[in-house]
Structure 1
Amino acid sequence: MNVKNDGIENPVNNNSDGVENHLSNQTDAAENLVNDKQDPAGSFVENKADALDSPINSIVKAVEFPASSKANAVESPASCKPDCLPEEAKEILISLASKWEDVLDANALQVFPLKGAMTNKVYQIKWPTTTGETSRKVLVRMYGEGVDVFFDRDKEIRTFEFMSKNGQGPLLLGRFTNGRVEEFIHARTLSASDLRDPSISALIAAKMKEFHELDMPGEKKVHLWDRLRNWLSEAKRLSSPKEVEAFYLDTIDKEISMLEKELSGADQLIGFCHNDLQYGNIMLDEETNSVTIIDYEYASYNHVAFDIANHFCEMAANYHTEEPHILDYTKYPDLEERRRFVKAYLSTSGEQSSDNKVEQLLQEIEKYTLANHLFWGVWGIISAQVNTIDFDYKEYAKQRFQEYWARKPYLLINTEAPPYNAAEGTGI
């Protein structure tokens, strides 16, 4: 999950030439760069915490959570020294800038950290230009240490390159050992409130459908459940016995198997899914009224309902607050908002979808919110152990698990409630 800031330069085609040992067929593209998440309606049930059994109640007492982090997803007002970048990255940047005639000094790069990313460290790089009014910009992404357990980095790069070639995202300008240089898109990153704007939401729905229909090379198989099991195994390995007990990690494997059996119907829509479509991964070009989806680290073939459910769940988050890890599920979209989104999604091809098809997908999406809560709950447990970014991952994980146990009995028929103490509340 990454929170981005300010947007990118316009995508460019015709990549050619390259920086020796670093760039691959990207120099001409670089030269052409232009400056610069409930209304408790629908299936959500009010005041349900007291009626539920849940293992999460004990977490608060059993685990000492760190103080709230203060990650501000805003650009730092002051640049940091280029020394914060690896030498390999600086060589690529200087090589790029040396080919731009309007850059005054390729070595005079300015480095601005973009705060709020939860997997990588992201920097905006600028150079003064001869015009004096604008500057050349690119983005440097340094991969977070220990997060390779979440995804295959080489596969993510291949996805990035595929998206670039198909006009779906920024260009890849260079690669170094622990990161890459990207085109800086001229568009603004969405805010949390933007997701509630009906016009913007319709654009997102249409772009998501387009994304899902991409013919991505490789095996078109859903790996969600295997990925969850692998993550759970890693979460147990990294956690103390106290944490394993407190988060009931020994129970999650059974839950994964139950969900896989319950949700994996043969008639479900499968597509190439982003799997992390929070507002920081969506950019809006207000001149063309178009959106761009960025950051494909978690992208894979998956159930379309999972991807849409993830987007809905992300409406409970605002990563630009003093406590960015706190989730507010009163902001989960109500039934009418969800229905409007699904109608826009299904009608992207120009055909009106039947009410039955809309309602079926809506029901599938609500069930897949459960898989989302487990997915990001386990992610939070691992991230707390391997990531040094200032974000309260354990508290975030606790909230996702709480919401899972609270909603499960209402979304799955004939499902036994877990034999534990009642939850203290789920934010509803």
Structure 2
Amino acid sequence: MVAIETMARIPKEARGVLKEVAARWADVADGGAPVEVKPLKGAMTNLVYEVIWRTEREVDRKVLVRVYGDGVDVFFDREEEVRTFECVSKHGQGPLLLGRFPNGRIEEFLHARTLSASDLRDPEISALIASKLREFHGLDMPGPKKVLLWDRLRNWLKSAKNMCTSDEAEEFSLDKLEDEIAKLEKELSGKEETIAFCHNDLQYGNIMMDEQSGIVTMIDYEYASFNPVAYDIANHFCEMAANYHTDTPHILDYSQYPDVEERRRFVQIYLTSSDEKPNAVEVEKLLQSVEKYKQASHLLWGLWGIISGHVNDIDFDYMEYARQRFHQYWLNAS
């Protein structure tokens, strides 16, 4: 039987939904009571748990319980995020939604391993991610195909200003960022951009892989929206500087940012479809766009860090993370 103190980590309302989920499975033993609850590390917006039941077979039943972080509704519309989750699932991407409770949900547990930071540098795994990202960008999702990036940046900047002390606002140069956002938008927005439904948070912890089949699955669509595909790729490259499973998960190592050959290989695979291969001009054009959009990624996640530092109590040094993202932005600002 699972320890009482361990099960107590799961909200009371969620425990009732877990019973309902277990009741759907005739092979669950012990009267439907879970035998183990495991906190999963690496999540920075929510608390995530693996819940396990014993069964009459050799294979246990498992689900994933996601408890929403406090105050994070400033980042996205939770109802819209759940609708996205359901729609992506219907397209055969990601886990199924098994149940909901007031401050979280219960998801299908994918029997695949979550990638590690080093996996992103593995050429074979990186190729699988590139192909999967192209597939994800091709999803026929509802809603206006309007870029969200610039409105999100301005909204998060407004929230950060409202939360920050005067010293924090000065440290992060918040009074300068509205002009920086406008400058980036003017430089990057154009009719030739490819707009698609983007993940917008493609860090290694949001990618899973079935070792036997080699199938890659992208999970966690809280920040997903229509955006330029170059931004989504740029954001993925920026995430290669992170390792959220160390003693200092907030520390970024930009020596791990992919070099030009790694970036070119990823983009080339991304642009390759079943019936044609991209020419050199297409590859270079997207590569250049990606490198410009990494500045937007630094700004966005820098603001995310500031806001999270004020609203989230997960054990993560959000403010230091924000400092590093802004430092990278100003290093590359023209």
TM-score by length of 2: 0.97
> Structure 2 counterpart of 1:251, which letter?
K
Q: Does 1:208 align with 2:133?
A: yes
Aligned pair partner of 1:280 in 205, 208, 211: 205
Q: CA deviation at 1:81?
A: 2.6
Q: Give aligned pairs, total.
A: 332
> 2:251: which partner in 1?
326
> Structure 1 counterpart of 2:220, which letter?
D
> Structure 2 counterpart of 1:117, which letter?
A
Greater length-normalized contact order (CA 8 Å, ≥ 6 residues apart): 1
Task: Summarize the alignment of residues 211-250 of structure 1 with structure 2, pairs less than 5 Å apart.
Answer: 211-250=136-175
Q: Give distance in 2, aligned partners of 1:95 and 1:369.
A: 44
Aligned pair partner of 1:117 in 15, 19, 43: 43
Is the CA contact (8 Å cut-off) linking 1:163 and 1:169 kept in structure 2? yes
Q: Does 1:271 align with 2:196?
A: yes
Q: Give distance in 1, aligned partners of 2:69 and 2:7.
A: 18
Q: Deviations over 1:401-422 (max 9, x none)?
A: 000010123xxxxxxxxxxxxx
Q: Deviations over 1:313-370 (max 9, x none)?
A: 0000011111011100111000000000000000034311110110000000000000
> 1:310: which partner in 2?
235
Give secondary structure in 2 for the equivalent of 1:168: coil
Q: Give distance in 1, aligned partners of 2:4 and 2:37.
A: 5
Q: Deviations over 1:246-283 (max 9, x none)?
A: 11111111100000001101101111000000000000
Q: Does 1:383 align with 2:303?
A: no
Aligned pair partner of 1:155 in 71, 76, 80: 80
Q: Give distance in 2, aligned partners of 1:115 and 1:365.
A: 30
Q: Deviations over 1:120-153 (max 9, x none)?
A: 000110112223x432100000000100010111
Q: CA deviation at 1:91?
A: 1.0
Aligned pair partner of 2:265 in 316, 325, 340: 340
Identity of aligned residues (%): 65
Gaps of 5+ in 1: 1-77, 410-428
Task: Summarize the alignment of residues 295-306 of structure 1 with structure 2, pairs less than 5 Å apart.
Answer: 295-306=220-231
Aligned pair partner of 1:354 in 279, 283, 288: 279
Instruction: Say which structure is richer in helix.
Output: 2
Is the CA contact (8 Å cut-off) linking 1:79 and 1:113 kept in structure 2? no
Is the CA contact (8 Å cut-off) linking 1:164 and 1:171 kept in structure 2? yes
Task: Summarize the alignment of residues 16-415 of structure 1 with structure 2, pairs less than 5 Å apart.
Answer: 80-109=5-34, 110-131=36-57, 133-409=58-334
Q: Give distance in 1, aligned partners of 2:307 and 2:209.
A: 32
Give secondary structure in 2 for the equivalent of 1:316: coil
Is the CA contact (8 Å cut-off) linking 1:282 and 1:292 kept in structure 2? yes
Is the CA contact (8 Å cut-off) linking 2:40 and 2:49 kept in structure 1? yes
Q: Deviations over 1:165-223 (max 9, x none)?
A: 11101000001100000000010001111111111111100110011111100111001
Q: CA deviation at 1:388?
A: 0.5
Give secondary structure in 2 for the equivalent of 1:371: helix
Q: CA deviation at 1:236?
A: 0.7
> Structure 2 counterpart of 1:129, which letter?
T
Q: CA deviation at 1:107?
A: 4.3
> Structure 2 counterpart of 1:126, which letter?
I
> Structure 2 counterpart of 1:296, which letter?
Y
> 1:36: which partner in 2?
none
Is the CA contact (8 Å cut-off) linking 2:95 and 2:219 kept in structure 1? yes
Give secondary structure in 2 for the equivalent of 1:288: coil
Q: Give distance in 1, aligned partners of 2:103 and 2:311.
A: 16
TM-score by length of 1: 0.76
Q: CA deviation at 1:290?
A: 1.0
**CA RMSD in angstroms, aligned pairs only:** 1.4
* Aligned CA distance change for structure 1 residues 79 and 207 (closer, same or farther; 3 Å): farther
> Structure 2 counterpart of 1:145, which letter?
D
Q: CA deviation at 1:96?
A: 1.5
Is the CA contact (8 Å cut-off) linking 2:48 and 2:66 kept in structure 1? yes
Gaps of 5+ in 2: none
Give secondary structure in 1 for the equivalent of 2:8: helix
Give secondary structure in 1 for the equivalent of 2:333: helix
Is the CA contact (8 Å cut-off) linking 1:124 and 1:138 kept in structure 2? yes
Q: CA deviation at 1:87?
A: 2.2
Please say which of residues 81-90 and 202-211 is displaced more in the overlay. Answer: 81-90
Q: CA deviation at 1:79?
A: 8.7
Give secondary structure in 1 for the equivalent of 2:33: coil
Q: CA deviation at 1:101?
A: 1.9
Q: CA deviation at 1:80?
A: 4.6
* Aligned CA distance change for structure 1 residues 398 and 96 (closer, same or farther; 3 Å): same
Is the CA contact (8 Å cut-off) linking 2:42 and 2:205 kept in structure 1? no
Q: Give distance in 2, aligned partners of 1:80 and 1:285.
A: 32
